[in-house]
Structure 1
Amino acid sequence: MKTTLKIAGALLAGWAGLAGAQPPAGDADIRHGRYLIQTSGCNDCHTAGYMQKNGQVPEAEWLTGDAMGWQGPWGTTYAANLRLLFQQVDEQAWLARARQPMRPPMPSPSLRAMSDADLKAIYRYVRSLGVKGSPAPAYVPPGGKVATPYFDFTPKNLPPMASQR
């Protein structure tokens, strides 16, 4: 028994001593990441046709981006193919990126409010899906020519601002 405890202690000490080493992503992380993807609305934009098909899109097609644009005063943005993106960045780069402001309609405040553990679970889940699809179209600045279908989020019929009254 003492020998077993000594071996276990040595293994734990050795593991703790590995600079920057992380345990491999487990099934629990991947399941949690899948849950977060489903409940946070990621598929609504990052999976083509997801909203229109009431979520009835095979998981094999999830998070491959969309050529449907989202246009507003910020220009026209496209939901990235996360399955390609997450193969190009490591987990730490993803954590840093998730904490940065992003163009609409990406709900950046919601993403920034997530814990590191949640963001890591999302990263690990998306990576577990493997590479699929093509990159989304590039951002188009305001007034630029948009060659794809897009949703228009331009505010209309706004009341005058209080300072203008």
Structure 2
Amino acid sequence: MKKEGIMLATLGVLLVFSQCKPNQTKEEIVENKPAWELLGYQSLPDYGKHLVTIGGCHDCHTPKKMGPNGPELDMELALSGHPSAMPFPDVDRAAMEKNGYAVTQTLTAWVGPWGVSYASNLTSDPTGIGGWTEEQFFRALREGKFKGSPNGRQILPPMPWQMFQAMRDDEIGAIFAYLQTTKPIDNVVPDALPPSSVGQ
């Protein structure tokens, strides 16, 4: 009988506690935390760095150098785009534009049916995106506008801005926040060139 009394008392206490509501539900706690924190990142720029890495931004915007196993990222020039001092290689542009496309040895410039395009400087330097607003950055990724200008030309291949349209606002904001913390690298990327057939 004594055991039954203890069990009933324990069940009673559990019943009382089960009726008590915490100050916040799990859903409310999740709603009040930013995505980067819920995902275990230390800050918004830290989350942005992760997205830049897995999103392939270095593939085009970081010049390559030859390493023991072939081309590798030159992290001293991380995200600085096509080197301004590097001229486009002497190739038959008309043939490349007609039959396929070519890239430079740094993998930061391309020739194809659209002409010649160069990877932009994404660093925090004024020659990169250091002077950009977040609105410009959103417009570049959502609308494909060069330098995020409402009246700018479309961003040229191989930049897959159409894919990045699917990113959430917090993801684009995190990438922008990270890029604003990058090492500033003074590098004025050359202007894109129209197809060689233009003006002929």
The normalised TM-score by structure 2 is 0.53
Asked if 2 retains the 8 angstrom alpha-carbon contact of 1:48 and 1:65, the reply is yes
Q: Which amino acid aligns with 2:186?
A: G
Distance 2:65 2:42 in 1: 25
**1:37 aligned onto 2:52:** yes
Q: Per chain length, whose mean CA-contact separation is higher, i.e. which structure has more relative contact order (CA < 8 Å, sep 6+)?
A: 1
Quote the offset at 1:63 in angstroms.
0.7
**89-98 vs 117-126, which moves further:** 89-98
Describe the SS at the equivalent of 2:192.
coil
Describe the SS at the equivalent of 1:128.
coil
Asked if 2 retains the 8 angstrom alpha-carbon contact of 1:44 and 1:50, the reply is no
Quick check: which has more Rg, 1 or 2? 2
Q: Which residue is equivalent to 2:63?
A: 48
Describe the SS at the equivalent of 1:76.
strand
Tell me, which stretches of 5 or more residues in structure 1 are unaligned?
Answer: 1-25, 145-165
Q: Which residue is equivalent to 1:74?
A: 114
**1:61 aligned onto 2:104:** no
Q: How has the CA–CA distance of structure 1 residues 34 and 50 changed in structure 2, closer, same or farther, with 3 Å as cutoff?
A: farther
Q: Which residue is equivalent to 1:90?
A: 133
Distance 2:115 2:55 in 1: 24
CA RMSD of aligned residues (A): 2.4
Runs of 4+ in 1 over 3 A off after TM superposition: 50-55
Distance 1:92 1:128 in 2: 17
Q: How has the CA–CA distance of structure 1 residues 109 and 50 changed in structure 2, closer, same or farther, with 3 Å as cutoff?
A: farther
Distance 1:122 1:65 in 2: 16
Q: How has the CA–CA distance of structure 1 residues 50 and 128 changed in structure 2, closer, same or farther, with 3 Å as cutoff?
A: farther
Tell me, which stretches of 5 or more residues in structure 2 are unaligned?
Answer: 1-40, 84-107, 145-154
Count of aligned pairs between the two proteins: 118
More helix by share: 1
